[in-house]
Structure formats: structure tokens, C-alpha cells
Structure 1
Amino acid sequence: MNDHSVINQIVSTPPLGGRISFSRLDGTETMALPELYEQAGRLARRLRARGVGPGDRIGILAANGPEWVLLDLAALRLKAETAGLEPGKFAPSAELMARYDIKLLFTDRPTDAPGTVPISEVRTLAAEPEDPAETTPLPAVEWAPRDVTTIKFTSGSTGTPKGLGATVGSIDSSLAAVQEIFEHKPGDDLFVFLPLSLLQQRYWIYSALVHGHDVTVSSYEAAFAALRRAKPTVVMGVPAFYETARRQIEARVRRSGGPATAGEAARQLFGDRIRYLWTGSAPADAAMLRFFTDAGLPIFEGYGLNETCIVTKNHPGAHKVGSVGKVLSGKEVLVDEDGVVSVRSDHPVNYRYAYAEPGASERMFAPDGTVRTGDLGYLDEDGFLFIRGRADDVIVLDNGKKIVVRPIEESMRTSPAIAECVLFCPSQTDLVAVVSPASVPADLDAIAAQLARTNATSEADEKISRVVVAEAPFSIDNGLLTSQYKPKRQQILAAHHARIHDTKEGIHAA
């Protein structure tokens, strides 16, 4: 048995304290973690009565809520797998269940497919008292390091999402490494709002059950309203969330008409208990990171992939601006002669995809589980990792010059008028930027001014010739952002193809 396994502790030992809150636009529901554990046990017994057992897989296709957490914990207690299915990316159907070998599919979406269960039934199953005479204790289960607890799906920008089985060893190792550097403890309240179908969001619930701190679960739509009520100590967010928060804070300062500072406005938005802010999943703008640190809310960027879990993290005592942090315990970063980053793990997430097109596993995973990330980067003399961009996003001009687009895009995003910027090279001679405006109508003068500033610091081949301003900002709903708010380059290119190729279109460089 793995004596230090978070997963095995969760299934075998009731938590001693802590609480979990579910915050929506219409209010907050709070439950003590020992009660959550009891309800998950009742739900597990009722799922077992429906034939769910070790090795079976249940699907969860629903918005964040208590039901999601209870199902996930009940599955762990039964040694059953979950498949976390993101609403909007999947639709409930018999075909979906057959494709992913799902025994029962719990969903909040309308469907009459056989084997689907309205997720609203979960609370009843978990909360209803049991007849002690009919209650059979759950059999003890033990998870081995290479056992798979859940199938997680990529938030990739193209094609059918790839499914990857996450192993217990990878979860335990990642949580132990994070706990080593951040020491979450009773009194902390970790705030999460991205979909629980993303396994890392569930990490913080597992952490609460083991370390006795609180956790608040919300949604992106309700996040800012929930923050004011929850007053968390830690917020787990993607860069796009913090960019939105920065604009709100700056607007509060302007509206105050007085001596209000960014720090005061930030505490009004986030509460007065913030210990630190966590960000990752997409590149963070250096100006945004400085803004929050200067406002008294230290923010730490990290790096990881679906296929690697958390790889590096800035943290108190080991923080370097511009980097994504030092390599965590249990991970090794390898950089080849072309600057492409690979990651080796003591406990790999897996050695291949469970569901993917032919050849995808071989392209991503080496036989020992080492992951070829496709990111360009380097380690400095102090062991901090710097990511320069994606190898696939390097633009090669007709003169042979290779342009790494990420630093140029990041420069454009330093303007408060620009939410996202994606570079293309339609003729292999000059760069065209497609910009998602931070507000509608777009501030064209501010965008033009940022274009001039970016070009002033760029080499001749790296200058942007013109900017196409999207009429509608990139969003998840219009298919131009992933669930982790990363731009989908191919979809953006398709959506703006005619304007990108029209040399008269857009804001032209002076």
C-alpha cells in the first residue's frame, strides 16, 4: 500500500474538519467535509446497488455543483472510474456512452438515452437516511499507483478531444509537490471555478479532505459575485480571469473619484484574506502579474499539461518574473537541441491516450511515459523554466527567418484594450494580428497605439504589418477559446480568413 497516497486516505479515512461551499449567483450552500464524506458513502452504496463496482466507469456531464463532487468521491470509494465530460463539448447520448464504455451517465442535460440518470437524483440518493438493518458496509478498496481513477479529456483547439486515463500515482505526486511548497492548512479556503471535468480542479477538493482546509466551488459566470461572499485565501484562475479582474479593479479606482488605490479595490473584489493567487494553463502577461503583486496580492504562475499534471511553479521563496517556476519534486524537464521541452515524471499521468486517433500516443509519449510537450523553452542557471511559445506556432518567412510568435502576442496584450492577440502570416512575408478587443466597441486608437509600441521594439522581420480587430471578442461560446480560455488558432484563422488575406483590411502599421 502507498502510505502517502492522498487517494487512499480519501477512501479510507473520514476528514476531521474543513468545509466545502458551492457558490452560485443565487447564493451559497456550505457542507462540512465529514458530512460530505458520509453522503458520498451513502451514494456509493446506492450506486453499488445499481451494479456499479470496481473497474466500471460512470460519466458526469454537468455543471459544477455538489452532485459532481459526490459522484466523484463515491466512485473513488467503489474503485470505479469517472469520465469527466464538459458541457458544450459533449452531448448525452447512447453513442457517447458506448464510445467511452460508460455504465451510467449522470447529466443535467435533457436526454432519454438508456443508462442516463438526471443528476438531480444524486442529492436524494446521497441524503436519504438508510435503514441500518439493510446497510452493508462498503468493502475496503486500495488504489495502486498505476490504477486509473478518471478519464480526462483535452481542451485542445482542434479535432475530437483526446481521452487520457489519470493514474493515482500522478495525482498523489502532484498534490504532494504542491503541498510541499504552499502548505495549505486549516484556515485556508481555496477558490475554484473552472469545470470540475478538468481533473486539476478536483485536486483542491482532495487536498481539503486530507489537509483540513476549506474549498469553495463556483463557476466562471458566478466567480466575481462568489468571491465577495467567500473571501478565500487562495484563488485558482487562468490568466484571462485575472485580466478581467484587473480591468474591474482599474474601473473601481476610476469610479471612486478619490484616493482609492488598486490594492484597496483589489481587496474589495477578492476579499481581505488572500494569501496568494495561482495561475497557469495559458501564458500570463507580465504586466498583469506585476499589477496584482504591486496591489498586495502575490500571484504565482506555473506550467503543466493535461499529459503531465503540474510541472513547474513559482512560489514564495522561489519566484522569478517571466518564468513559469522551478521544477516540482517528482518531475524532470528536458530541453533538446531545438529548444523543445519534454517532461519526465516519477509517476507519469499515463503512457498513452485511452482515446485518440492512431499515432497520437506515439507522437506525445515516449515508451517510459516522458511527454513531448511541443513547447519551446529553456532552463536558466537557477533552474527556472521559461516558455517561449509553441514549436507549431513558429512562423517561417520566405527568407527563412523563424519567428516565435508568443513574445510579440504578449507585447500586444499589454494594452488594456486588447484581450487576446493571435499572429498569422498569410503570404509568408509579413505578420497579421487578429485581436480580440477587451471591450465593445473596440478602442481602435488604443489598439493602433499598442501596434506602434510593439513594432518599435521589434526587429524588422518581427514587425506586425496590420491588425484585424474581431467584431465579437473571442469566447468559449463562439468556439474561439478553449475551456481554459486559450485561443484556438485554427478556428480563429477560419473565422477571419477573408479579413486576414485582405491587404486593405484592418489597422495598418505606420
Structure 2
Amino acid sequence: MDSLINRVVAGPAPEGHRVTFARLGASESVELPELRAMAGNVAQGLRRLGVRPGDRIGILSANRLEWVLLDLAALRLKVVTAGLEPGKFDPRPELLERYGLSALFTDQPISREDGETHKGILPIEDVRALAQPSPGDAPLPDVSYDPGEATTLKFTSGSTGRPKGLAATAGSIDSSLRAVQGMFAHGPGDDIFVFLPLSLLQQRYWIYSALCFGHDVTVSTYEAAFAVMPSVRPTVVMGVPGFFETAMRHVRETGGEPRELFGDRVRYLWTGSAPARAEMLRFFNEAGVPIYEGYGLNETCIVTKNHPGASREGSVGRVVPGKHVVLDEDGVIHVRSDHPVARRYEYCAPGESEAIFLPDGTVRTGDVGHLDEDGFLFVHGRADDAIVLDNGRNVIVRPIEERMRAEPAIAECVVFCPDQTRLVAVVSPAGTGADEAAISARLAAVNAGLEPDERISRVIVADPPFSIGNGLLTSQYKPRRQRILDAYRHELSTRERGIHAR
């Protein structure tokens, strides 16, 4: 089967389509044939800098044209990109050493040691100069990718600890692109709106899709998304559930219509990466703007997706071609791929690869669910709990819960995010009565040591406390997260209730 990545590399780029970079107060559009030509020039420029096939380059920058040019140029040279999310990494020399980078391009201030800039760390603005033709360059050699060859190093998006790295294969990218195209048939007339960081490999898929299937793409940022969408008028909007929760609240508060927010051409909304609330999904579907939820992990890419003609409320869709879902005796979801993203982590703590990847490459997701009689997957929850905020940030709640439980007055703590913007904790008090002063003091102390996105906005004190008898603790005295959510759903959604952070 023809490789889509090889089609991206070899071209030709479709005529009459473009990629637009939309920021607050400014935008820049590049026709796809010009984009491909500029990427070829950047590849020549990287070669002049000494970058060779098999090397790695890092990109630590917000979304911009230079990001895309570097990524496409690296594909053209068989150079592996490392997409580094701003805020999780700093442009320091040890970053090059840690990940074996020949060069690091960044839009952040470059640290200096002994008054000199590290020679391998370059301003991403320099890519503009590399994108200009340079007479005398030898032609670039033809390249092609086998399915098992890695094209990029991508990182898990956890907010605590060092992110784990995965070397993603060309075959996994091809498989995902084909599955999505089979479901949604993106093509002429489409403009796919992307605002999450390009360091997330899945966001770059839409650039590859445009080059393969002939459609427009608009790349923006989270901060600019709502401001630019009405004028951009995309046909498809990609976002995490929290983003669409924010959109729903805005529409309700203003009394407007979703199409006033997303633009009058939108044909569907795409969501995933975290559980989506049924109320939010129903809101947009009933407003005539279909929203389709899917399921996947960094380690698997897309696994299931609702789509036109095959969508079931409450599910995350049917299993896509190339993926196979198996449930163990506890209902834990395992995913086997015809073309795995990877079979291990490139960078991780000892034992982390073995905890996720089985010897044959099957991924143990840690999520619990079931498949119905028609093959739709329903996800009920997960063991290691992560919350995706509406800005796309992942917050790992277990360390936060453990900090709260360090207070003797707190027996258990479970953190939720009812509106995808603020964290709310339900605590079970120790002893016979709740010491609200001690709980309030602990809340302030914990928040003081956390990043803004990680802070708990308020605490709900459980009454009665969690117990095996009331079903909120397991027989091993572990909190039953879903049952606690169900029991305190009203309190969680009522912002006035509870102990508020000072």
C-alpha cells in the first residue's frame, strides 16, 4: 500500500490549498506547493548546518510556520524531530545531551553559559533564512520510509515528573491518517482548525492530511482560538472536551448560536483525549453542530472514533481499522496495533515501559470499559487518573491527592474537574468530625506549592465519610472514584458549596 508519509515527502503538493497561521491581530497563509518548496529549502539549510539522516533535531516553540517547515524538512532528510512543549522544557544545553539532539530550535530566550550561547541552540526565527533558496546546493537525495522507521520523538503530556518519550513510526502515522480519512473524507472545501501545540504529533497529522488529500488547514493557538474562528470560518474544529465545555458556557451565557462562535461553515467538531460529558455532547448535537468523541493514547494514537453514520451516545466509537481492542478479565482495555506507535518508551524510569507495553507490543491502557454488541467501546474510568483542562494541559491528580492526605484531619482525597477548568476535591474526614480549619489550612499549603493549573479551587467535605459500607471504598479501603463522583455530582457542579481556596 502506498505510504502517506512517503507521499508527504515526495509530493507533489495539491494545488489550490493552503495552510494559514492565525494569531490575534495577524495571519499568514502559504499555498501548499510553496510550503513544500520552502520545506525543501529548509532541508538544504539543515544539511548545511551539518544535520544528517538519522540525526535528531528539537523544536521548542509555540505554533508557527517555522515549526511546520522544520518538521517537513526533517521528514525530507530522514531526520527525527523531537517535539518539545513550551512550559515542560527549557532551552538548555543538557536538553541536547539528554535527547541526543544535533540542534534545538526555539522561540524562547536562549540561556547563556559563561556569556556564550550554546552552539546547538538556535532561534527558530533563523528558519526563515533557511527557507530561502541557496544557489549551489546539491539536490536532496530521494528518501522513503519503511513502516517501522521512526519519524519523530513524542512525549507524554503528564504534568509531573520527566515526560516519557516515544519514537513514533511511519506505519502508525499512515494507519491513523487512513482510518480518519475513511471516516471523515476530508478534502476540497475543508479547512481544519488546529490550536493545540504542534509538539503533540497528532496535531501535525492535519498538515500531512492536507498534503495528501488536498484541503486547507488553519493553525492557531489556544489563546487566539475563540477570537479568530469566526473570521477563519473552519469546517472542522479539533479540541479537547474542556475547550468545548468553555464554548458551551459562552453560547449559553450570551444567548448566541454555536456557529457564531465557530464560524458559519463548521460541519463537525472533533474531541477526545479526555472523557466528554454527555450534556456537552448533546448540547452541540442538538444545536445542529455534530461533535464526535474518540479514544486513544500517546502510546496507541487513535483507537476508536464516533463518526458520521456510526455514532452512539455514551461511547467513544467503534474500533478503527488497524487497531484491535481486547478486554482482560477485569475489563481493562488493551490495544494491539497492526503498526504500533512504538513497543517501548525511549526515555522513562525503570519499569515504566514494562508496565504499559506487553512483550508483543500490545498496550495496557489502564482504562476500564466494555464493547457493546455492535462494537462500540464504552470507557468507564481509569486507574491512574489524569485530567485534561480546557487549555489542553494534563494534570496528574494522584500526587495532589497524596499531598492533601498528608493532613491528619483528611483520611482520603479524590480530585475531580467538573467543568474542565477548576479542580475540586472531595475529602473524607478522619475521625468522627470534620476539622474544617485544618482542611482549609492544608488546602492553602498544598496550593502554594503547585502550578496554577494544578491548584484546587475548593474542597467538598464528604458526609458521611467514605466507607466500605456506603460503597465509596473498596474492600482494600481504596476510594471508588466513579462512585464518589456519582454521589457528589451535584455538589461538584455547584460552585458555592465547599471550602474555597483563599
TM-score range, shorter chain: 0.7 to 0.9
- Residue 5 of structure 2 is matched in structure 1 by 7
In structure 2, relative to structure 1, the CA distance for the partners of 1:116 and 1:273 (3 Å cut) is: same
Contact 2:242 2:421 in 1 (8 A): no
- Residue 342 of structure 1 is matched in structure 2 by 334
In 1, Cα distance between equivalents of 2:90 and 2:498: 43
Aligned residues: 437
Contact 1:341 1:372 in 2 (8 A): yes
- The residue correspondences of 1:478-493 to structure 2 (distance < 5 A) are 479=451, 481=453
> Can you list the C-alpha shifts for 1:191-246, whole angstroms capped at 9, x where unaligned?
00000000000000000001010000000000011211210010110011101111
2:451 is matched by which residue type in structure 1?
A: G
- The residue correspondences of 1:316-355 to structure 2 (distance < 5 A) are 316-355=308-347
SS of the aligned residue for 1:114 comes to coil
- The residue correspondences of 1:354-369 to structure 2 (distance < 5 A) are 354-369=346-361
1:69 is matched by which residue type in structure 2?
A: V
In 2, Cα distance between equivalents of 1:432 and 1:86: 28
- Residue 84 of structure 1 is matched in structure 2 by 83
In structure 2, relative to structure 1, the CA distance for the partners of 1:471 and 1:299 (3 Å cut) is: farther
1:320 is matched by which residue type in structure 2?
A: R
> Can you list the C-alpha shifts for 1:154-178, whole angstroms capped at 9, x where unaligned?
0014311000000000000010011
Structure 1 gap segments, 5+ residues each? 254-261, 394-405, 414-419, 452-465, 482-490
Contact 2:146 2:171 in 1 (8 A): yes
- Residue 485 of structure 1 is matched in structure 2 by none
**With structure 2 as the length reference, what TM-score do the two structures score?**
0.80
- Residue 256 of structure 1 is matched in structure 2 by none
- Residue 230 of structure 1 is matched in structure 2 by 232
SS of the aligned residue for 1:312 comes to strand
Contact 2:22 2:28 in 1 (8 A): yes
> Can you list the C-alpha shifts for 1:240-264, whole angstroms capped at 9, x where unaligned?
11011111111221xxxxxxxx5xx
Deviation at 1:135, TM superposition (A): 3.0
- Residue 462 of structure 1 is matched in structure 2 by none
- Residue 113 of structure 1 is matched in structure 2 by 118
> Can you list the C-alpha shifts for 1:423-447, whole angstroms capped at 9, x where unaligned?
969589777666677899x9xxxx9
In 1, Cα distance between equivalents of 2:230 and 2:365: 37
- Residue 259 of structure 1 is matched in structure 2 by none
Deviation at 1:26, TM superposition (A): 1.7
SS of the aligned residue for 1:338 comes to coil
1:173 is matched by which residue type in structure 2?
A: S
Of residues 183, 186, 189, the one that matches 1:184 is 186
In structure 2, relative to structure 1, the CA distance for the partners of 1:142 and 1:430 (3 Å cut) is: closer
- The residue correspondences of 1:413-428 to structure 2 (distance < 5 A) are none
In structure 2, relative to structure 1, the CA distance for the partners of 1:108 and 1:507 (3 Å cut) is: same
1:479 is matched by which residue type in structure 2?
A: E
In 1, Cα distance between equivalents of 2:18 and 2:278: 34
Of residues 166, 186, 194, the one that matches 1:164 is 166
In 2, Cα distance between equivalents of 1:243 and 1:60: 30
RMSD: 3.5
In structure 2, relative to structure 1, the CA distance for the partners of 1:274 and 1:125 (3 Å cut) is: same
Contact 1:92 1:107 in 2 (8 A): yes
In structure 2, relative to structure 1, the CA distance for the partners of 1:77 and 1:435 (3 Å cut) is: closer
SS of the aligned residue for 1:221 comes to helix
In structure 2, relative to structure 1, the CA distance for the partners of 1:25 and 1:378 (3 Å cut) is: same
- The residue correspondences of 1:264-279 to structure 2 (distance < 5 A) are 265-279=257-271
- Residue 157 of structure 2 is matched in structure 1 by 155
Contact 1:340 1:391 in 2 (8 A): no
- Residue 204 of structure 2 is matched in structure 1 by 202
Structure 2 gap segments, 5+ residues each? 111-116, 390-394, 427-435, 466-495
- Residue 257 of structure 1 is matched in structure 2 by none
- Residue 295 of structure 1 is matched in structure 2 by 287
Contact 1:421 1:435 in 2 (8 A): no
In 2, Cα distance between equivalents of 1:141 and 1:48: 14
In 2, Cα distance between equivalents of 1:383 and 1:173: 20
Q: Percentage identity across aligned positions? A: 58
Deviation at 1:499, TM superposition (A): 8.7
Contact 2:80 2:151 in 1 (8 A): yes
In 1, Cα distance between equivalents of 2:134 and 2:498: 70
- Residue 246 of structure 1 is matched in structure 2 by 248
- Residue 134 of structure 2 is matched in structure 1 by 130
Of residues 175, 178, 203, the one that matches 2:177 is 175
- The residue correspondences of 1:311-460 to structure 2 (distance < 5 A) are 311-392=303-384
> Can you list the C-alpha shifts for 1:327-380, whole angstroms capped at 9, x where unaligned?
000000011111111100000001111111111111110121100000011111
Deviation at 1:391, TM superposition (A): 2.3
In structure 2, relative to structure 1, the CA distance for the partners of 1:252 and 1:100 (3 Å cut) is: same
Contact 2:343 2:361 in 1 (8 A): yes
In 1, Cα distance between equivalents of 2:452 and 2:61: 22
> Can you list the C-alpha shifts for 1:64-94, whole angstroms capped at 9, x where unaligned?
0000000000000000000000010000111
> Can you list the C-alpha shifts for 1:130-157, whole angstroms capped at 9, x where unaligned?
32xx132110001111110000000014
**With structure 1 as the length reference, what TM-score do the two structures score?**
0.79
> Can you list the C-alpha shifts for 1:108-130, whole angstroms capped at 9, x where unaligned?
1111223111001111210x233
